[in-house]
Chain A
């Protein structure tokens, strides 16, 4: 906690000198960068909490402040200690999430490029306050029948070994997204979006291409459990 307080006071000092609200990044390119965030976060009118919280209206809000989302203890404490999201604090956080808020649940290794960070922050800014502009949910939906399939955990465990060559079982993200702890509906929807080539990624389209509905359900159930 000491280390956290210390870094927070630095951040708060930096805040005092920042020109608040001034958009420095390019939101259009930010929308590209956002794809990395969109794996876990949603924004826009229909956004729901997924692996990560909805990021509407976060600019100038207190960290860990969405009451209906379960944050890590670390993020809640950081907010209570005074962390608010601004261009500067978000920039610091996105550069290395785990150095700024140790033990955050956000298993994202960070954006190295300062330009990418500025751009994605500009894009996120569009969904705060009156600027909430775009609806980026891709509007893909899976039928209730498919969502209702109960996943076989043992089969899911076996099938998951095909995923863990790239996606780490402990939820770390070093350049390939973490897939543990997702809500079943999100997991199943994402897999079917790849399978039906609605989301584009050649590896994921190929892998999901031969997964049957019950196999996707099994994987969803298994990976959800790994996050607990």
Chain B
């Protein structure tokens, strides 16, 4: 096996069987082929833009195991009771209609010499350009006592879907006056304000349904995204309910016991009713298999999101290590469009325009109390570098906050139709 030909540990037999299976090559040899792994914020957008803008000149195949993509964005609002699970689910029908060949399977291997991707279901796909947007996986051992087999007792709910529903069910089943605990992740991780929006939404739910319950957050960080805004909001809406234990109070020295349902912070053990463990994160495993990671993430060139390890592979979204952009759906979507433009240019000679990136993250603190933070970015030789930014202010009027929340709903409709095509 060559250095570049990596397969899943533990599924070697299945994977090598897959390698032996006949190649599923794109027909029409002349037509350039793009394979996209992962149909989330980065991958769906890239696949759709390349297919749409190349008008049939490029064969685009998207590999994604699930038939319905549940957005992590707004999944906290589901926990708070502001959205239904159905509101978060999106099918791939619109992508297929844009000309993307959608294959529902797992990519299990990447052979960079042969330029093929092997699938769990057997067979492999050849590519001229490969785009990886597999999102995140968790770093083993980052929270003592927790591993992925504990995710039913102590859910992460940091990949949306059944985990999100499980956390909601556990929240609903909490005894009166019970304790909801969160173990927050260390930097860098997907959606910097995500854990704190979640705390807000859980508090919103508890305030209305279980007002004597308590929330403990053990955090390995000394500070977090939109901290002043969240702390102001927690004081205004949920006074006394939330206990945030940051790094200086031992929030980073944590262990859990999923069997006994206990959380130990700085040597002090507490019995908890729900424990939302959000472990440290790394690039989705397939990026490591492809050999494009360095440490936990996959370094990329800012100008086009191409991997620093392989000029024919691009890495988007959370899995990439690009510089200043936060790991968000908005960022992944923005990077995907820069990448799509570059990939199309490389394969068909279409005009390549300069990279421009932007991001805005909205968070909901309580009903009609929305806040946002955003920035624009440019490509430098070294990284994606921040140009300009803004953040909501503390003490804004209720009217401004309500408008911010309504805007976030508009953004959600916008980004999901940008990823998957307009709803029909």
Further 8 A-B residue pairs, CB within 8 A, beyond A165-B415, A174-B413, A206-B376: A165-B358, A167-B414, A173-B410, A174-B410, A174-B414, A203-B372, A203-B374, A209-B388
Residue of A nearest to B411 (CB): A166
CB of A15 closer than 8 Å to a CB of B: no
CB contact between A158 and one of B334, B353, B374, B407 (< 8 Å): that residue: B353
Partner of A168, one of B358, B360, B414: B414
A173 to B356, CA, bound (A): 24
The answer on a CB contact under 8 Å between B337 and A162 is yes
Interface centre among B49, B414, B417 (most CB of A within 10 A): B414
CA distance A113 to B207 in the complex (A): 25
Residues 143-174 of A at the B interface (beta carbon under 8 Å):
154-155, 157-159, 161-162, 164-170, 172-174
Q: Which residue of chain B lies nearest to A218 when distances are taken between CB atoms in the complex?
A: B353
- Least Cβ distance of B389 to chain A in Å? 7
> CB-CB contacts of B346-382 with A at 8 A, as 1s and 0s?
0000010100101010000000000010111000000
Write the chain B residue with the least CB distance to A161.
Answer: B337
State the interface size on chain A (CB cutoff 8 A).
Answer: 28
- Report how many A-B pairs have Cβ atoms within 8 Å: 87
Contact of B358 among A157, A162, A167, A202 (CB under 8 A): A162
Q: What are 25 inter-chain pairs, A to B, with CB distance below 8 A? A: A155-B353, A158-B341, A161-B418, A162-B337, A164-B418, A165-B334, A165-B358, A165-B414, A165-B418, A168-B413, A168-B417, A168-B422, A169-B422, A170-B417, A174-B413, A176-B407, A176-B410, A203-B360, A203-B374, A203-B390, A206-B358, A206-B390, A209-B376, A209-B388, A210-B387
Mark each residue of chain B from 321 to 332: 1 if its CB lies under 8 Å from any CB of chain A, else 0: 000000000100
Q: Is the C-beta of A207 less than 8 angstroms from some C-beta in chain B?
A: yes
How big is chain B's contact interface, by range? 20 to 34
Q: Does A45 reach chain B (CB closer than 8 Å)?
A: no
Q: Which residues of B contact A170 (CB under 8 A)?
A: 417, 422
| B375 adjacent to A165 (CB under 8 Å) | no
The CB with the most chain B CB atoms within 10 A, among A155, A177, A203, A210, is that of A203
**A-chain residues with CB within 8 Å of residue B337 when the two chains form the complex:** 161-162
> Given the known A-B contacts A174-B414, A175-B409, A210-B387, are A165 and B333 also in contact in the complex, defined by CB atoms under 8 Å?
yes
Residues in A with CB closer than 8 Å to B388 are: 206, 209-210
Q: Does B113 contact A (CB under 8 A)?
A: no
Give the docked Cα–Cα distance between A164 and B415 (Å): 7
Is B239 an interface residue, CB under 8 A from the partner? no
B399 at the interface (CB under 8 A from A): yes
B310 to chain A, nearest CB (A): 25
With A32-B399, A155-B353, A158-B353 in contact, is A169–B418 under 8 Å at CB? yes
Per the bound structure, the CA–CA distance linking A51 and B226 in Å amounts to 37
| B387-424 residues at the A interface, CB under 8 angstroms | 387-390, 399, 406-415, 417-418, 422
CB contact between B422 and one of A159, A166, A172 (< 8 Å): that residue: A172
A162 neighbours in B (Cβ, 8 Å): 334, 337, 356, 358
Give chain A's interface residues, CB within 8 Å of chain B: 32, 154-155, 157-159, 161-162, 164-170, 172-177, 202-203, 205-207, 209-210
Instruction: Among A32, A173, A206, find the residue whose CB has the most chain B CB atoms closer than 10 A.
Output: A206
Q: For B53, list chain A residues within 8 Å (CB).
A: 157
Measured in the bound complex, the distance between the Cα atoms of B333 and A154 in whole Å is 20
Separation of A155 and B350 alpha carbons in the complex (Å): 12
Candidates B376, B399, B408, B415; contact of A207 at CB < 8 Å: B376
Q: Cβ of A166 and Cβ of B376 under 8 Å apart?
A: no
**Contact A165 B411, beta carbon cutoff 8 Å:** yes
A166: shortest Cβ distance to chain B, in Å?
4
Please, which residues of chain B bring their CB within 8 A of the CB of A177? 410
| Contact yes or no, B374 A206, CB < 8 A | yes
Query: What distance in Å separates the Cβ of B364 from its nearest Cβ neighbour in chain A?
Result: 13
Instruction: List the A side residues contacting B376 at CB < 8 Å.
Output: 206-207, 209-210
A175 touches B410 (CB 8 A): yes
Which residue in chain A gives the minimum CB-CB distance to B424?
A170
A169 CA to B360 CA, complexed, in Å: 19
CA distance A155 to B410 in the complex (A): 25
Chain A residues contacting B341 (CB-CB under 8 Å) are 158, 161
Are A207 and B358 in contact (CB-based, < 8 A)? yes
Least CB distance, A160 to chain B, in whole angstroms: 10
Q: Of residues A32, A169, A174, which shows the largest number of chain B Cβ atoms within 10 Å of its Cβ?
A: A174
Residues of B within 8 Å of A174, CB to CB, are: 409-410, 412-414
Which residues of chain B are near A164, meaning CB under 8 Å? 414, 418
Q: CA A205 – CA B389 in complex, angstroms?
A: 10
Q: State in angstroms the CA–CA spacing of A177 and B341 once bound together.
A: 26
* Interface set, chain B 17-63, CB cutoff 8 A to A: 49, 53
CA distance A164 to B340 in the complex (A): 15
B-side contacts of A167, CB under 8 Å: 414
* Set of chain A residues within 8 Å of B414, measured between Cβ atoms: 164-168, 174, 176
Tell whether, in the assembled complex, residue A172 and residue B413 are in contact, meaning their CB atoms are under 8 Å apart.
yes
